[in-house]
Structure 1
C-alpha cells in the first residue's frame, strides 16, 4: 500500500480542497519564481540558509522506515534534490516499491498509482519497463490510461480522477509513449472545466511535457488546444492563490507548474530574495513538516520539477549486461536471455543475482566454494556432474572468460553467455 495519509493516494487529490491556512505571500512566490527566467536575479536559496532545505530533506528521509508503506512522492522529491544523504534510504524506498508491485501485482492498482511508481523508479535510474521479466509498468499504465479515456468518453469523467489522468499522461510522456489521445482529452477537459489547484498543476506539467515533444506535422492538430489549456490552467492557478483556495500542500505543485511555463509574470515590488526568505521562514516554522508537503515543495526549492526525473544522471553509476544461459547438451534444452542492470564495477556474480531476482524461474543458480574460487555448479536446475564431465562455461560473446564469477567485472553492454558444456 502507499502511504496511509490521504494526500498520498493518487485516486483523489493529494489533500482536500478546502480554504485552510493560506500564506499571504503565496502569489508573490508564484510570480517571482515564474519570472525568474527573465529577471537578472537568480531564484536560488542563499548559501547561509541552505541548511533549512537540507533539514527539510533530512526530515523527509527520517520518515522512511522499514515498516512504512512505499511512498513514491518522497523518493521522487529526494532524488530531484540530489539524492538521499543516507543511500540506504533510497534503496529501501525502491525495494518497497518493487516488493509491492511483485507481491500484490498491478491489477488492483489505479492508473495514478502506477504512474507515480514509474516516475519514482525513473528518478532512481531504475527501468519501469523491467521491474521483473514479466512486469512492464509502462505497458500496464498504457492499458489503464486507455480504460480512463474510454470511461471518460461515456461518463464525461475519468474512471478515477483528472489528477490521475494527468499523472498518467506525464509518466507516459516521459517514457516517450504515445499520449496524443490522452493529452488531447486532458486539454479539452481543462478548457471545459475548472480544475482544482493540484489537478491543474499536474495537468500543466503533463501538457507541457507533451507540448515539448510535438514536432511532427500530423501532431499539429493538438497544439492549439494544448496551448489554450496551458494558458487557462496558468490563470486558474494564479486566481486560486489570490482567492485563498490553495493551501500549504498545493503551493509546491503550483510552483512546479508555473515554473515550467514560458510566460513571464510581473513581480511588482517582490524580489526573488524577499520571496525565498519568506518561504524559508515558513519552513523554519514547521509549515512543511508533513512529509508529503515537503515532497511537493522541495523540488521547486532546488529549481526542479517532475519533468526533470528523466534528466538525472544515471549512466555513470550503472552498466547494462545481456545475460544468456544455454543448455543444448543434457535433458530439456533451453536458451534464455535477460538484460540486467548492475552497479558499475560489479563482478559477474552480481549479474547472476540480478537475473535470478528478476526471473527466478529461469535464472536460478547455485555455487560452490573451491580452491580456485567460487564456481557456478547449477543454472536453471541443470547441475554440473563430474561423472559425465559436464560444467557451466562462461563467455564474453564468443571468448571464454579467464576469471571466475566472483572476480570478472563485466563492462557496459557486454553479452555474457553461460553454456552447459563438457570437458
Structure 2
C-alpha cells in the first residue's frame, strides 16, 4: 500500500478548483508593492508554487529583504526573523552568506541560535519560542551548518512538552532535515531522540487534523509535516482528500484572503514543503568565474586562484564575497565607499597605501576593468585578476 504521505505529494487540487490556488497566488503577488515591508513568507510560498508571474516582483521582494538588513541591521531581529530571511533568499537562489561584504546572515543566525539554546538551558524555555528555534534549526540545516545540538535540544523538549500544531509541524520539518543529513551508523546518540520526537509529533499533528482541533491557519504547516513523514497511516486514520476538501472550502469562503494566511497554505496545495526551498532549480542561473589575486610588489609575495559560482547577473563584488566565503584565509578583502562607488582597498591583508602609491587593479585578461566591483558584471568562465600595483 502506498503511504498517504506519498499520495499527498502527488495529489493535485481538482482542475475545477485550481482557480482558487491561482487566485491565492495573485492576491499574494499583488500585495507586494514598493512601499510594503519585506515579507519572506510570501516570497517562500510563491517560489515553492513555481515563482511569481511578474519577475520584477520577486526581485523587489529580494531587494526589500536586503535593504531591511542593510539599513536596520540584525541586532534587533529575532532568530526566527533571520531564519525566515535565509529561507526566502535561498528560495530565490540568493546566497544569505553574502548580503554585503560584512553581513553573513548564516553566521548571524548561528549566534542567535546559540543564544536561544543558552537561554533554554538556563530557563527551560528558549529566548523567543520553540517555533522560532525550530525555524532556526531548519534554516541552518538547509545551509549545511552543524545543528546537532539544536536538534537534540528541540527533540528532547518535544518529547517533554506538547507543542501547538504549528510549532510541532515546524519542529517536524527541522528534525526531518537533520535526520536526512545524519550518517545513521555514526549518529545513534543523536538519532534516537530525533526519531522518538518525530514519531510523537506526527501522532499529535495527525490527531489534531483528524479531530478538526487544529486551527485552520495551522493546517498548511500540518500538511507539510505530514507530507515529509516516513511512516504510513492505516486506512481510516487520516484522509488526505477530506483535509484538502476542507481547506478548499475555507478558501472559497475567504478564510485565506489575507496574503499572509495564503502564504501559510499555498506550499501544501502544490505538494511542497519548506524543505524544498533548497532544491529549487538555480543551476541555470549561475555563472562560473575564475578569480586570481597577485602581489609581487610589497611584503610577502603571493598568487592565489579560485573558481566560484555566483548567480547570473551578479556584480564582481559577489565573486569577491564568494571567494572569501570559500577561502577566508587567502581571499579576505576590505572596501571603502567613494564618490565613484565601492573601492577595494585591501586583499589578503595587503592594503593599498597612498604614500606608496599602491592600489589593487582589476583586469579581465590584460585589459583593466573600467567599472568598479559594485558595477562590473562578469560573464560565465571569465577570468578576473586583481593585481597589487603602483600608479
**TM-score, normalised with respect to structure 1:** 0.74
Q: What is the alpha-carbon distance in structure 1 between the residues aligned to residue 197 and residue 281 of structure 2?
A: 32
Three-state SS of the structure 2 residue aligned to 1:394 is: strand
Q: Does 1:351 align with 2:320?
A: no
1 or 2 for the larger relative contact order (CA 8 Å, sep ≥6)?
A: 1
1:37 paired with 2:11, answer no
Correspondence for 1:375: none
2:217 matched residue in structure 1: 249
Contact 1:324-1:336 within 8 A present in 2 as well: yes
Q: Give 1:238 deviation, angstroms.
A: 2.4
Q: Deviations over 1:271-309 (max 9, x none)?
A: 755654443333222121111211111111111000001
Q: In the comparison of the two structures, how many residue pairs are matched?
A: 366
Contact kept? 1:327, 1:420, Cα under 8 Å: yes
Unmatched tracts of structure 2, length 5 or more: 323-332, 352-356
Taking the aligned partners of 2:7 and 2:297, their CA distance within structure 1 comes to 69
Q: Which structure 1 segments of 5+ residues have no match?
A: 1-32, 368-377, 383-387
Larger Rg: 1
2:131: which partner in 1? Answer: 163
The CA deviation string for residues 283-341 of structure 1, in whole angstroms up to 9 with x for no partner, is 222121111211111111111000001000111012243556778789xx999999987
RMSD (CA atoms): 3.9
TM-aligned CA distance change 1:183 to 1:42, over 3 Å: closer
Q: What SS class does the counterpart of residue 187 from structure 2 fall into?
A: helix
Structure 2 matches for 1:174-185, cutoff 5 A?
A: 174-185=142-153
Superposed, 1:214-229 pairs within 5 Å as: 214-215=182-183, 217-229=185-197
Is 1:410 the counterpart of 2:374? The answer is no
Using the TM superposition, give the Cα deviation of residue 229 of structure 1 relative to its aligned residue in structure 2, in angstroms. Answer: 0.6
Q: Is the 8 A contact 1:112 1:165 kept in 2?
A: yes
1:66 offset after TM fit, Å? 1.1
- 1:368-391 Cα offsets, whole Å, 9 max, x none, are xxxxxxxxxx87699xxxxx9x99
Kindly report structure 1 stretches of 4+ aligned residues shifted beyond 6 Å: 324-330, 333-341, 355-360, 402-408, 420-423
Aligned twin of 2:70: 102
> Is the 2:206–2:238 Cα contact (8 Å) retained in structure 1?
no
Q: Provide Cα deviations, 1:339-358, integer angstroms capped at 9, x if missing partner.
A: 987653x5xxx634767999
Which of 199, 202, 226 is 1:231 aligned to?
Answer: 199
8 Å CA contact 2:48, 2:91 repeated in 1: yes
Aligned to 2:177: 209
1:314 aligns with 282
Contact 2:335 2:344 in 1 (8 A): no
Q: What displacement does 1:400 show?
A: 2.4
After TM superposition, the structure 1 = structure 2 runs for residues 271-420 of structure 1, keeping only pairs within 5 Å, are 276-321=244-289, 344=312, 346=313, 351-352=315-316, 361-362=335-336, 366=340, 394-395=363-364, 399-401=365-367, 410-412=379-381, 414-419=382-387
Residue 91 (structure 1) aligned to one of 59, 62, 87:
59
Retained in 2: the 8 A contact 1:253–1:296? yes
DSSP-derived class of the 2:275 partner:
helix
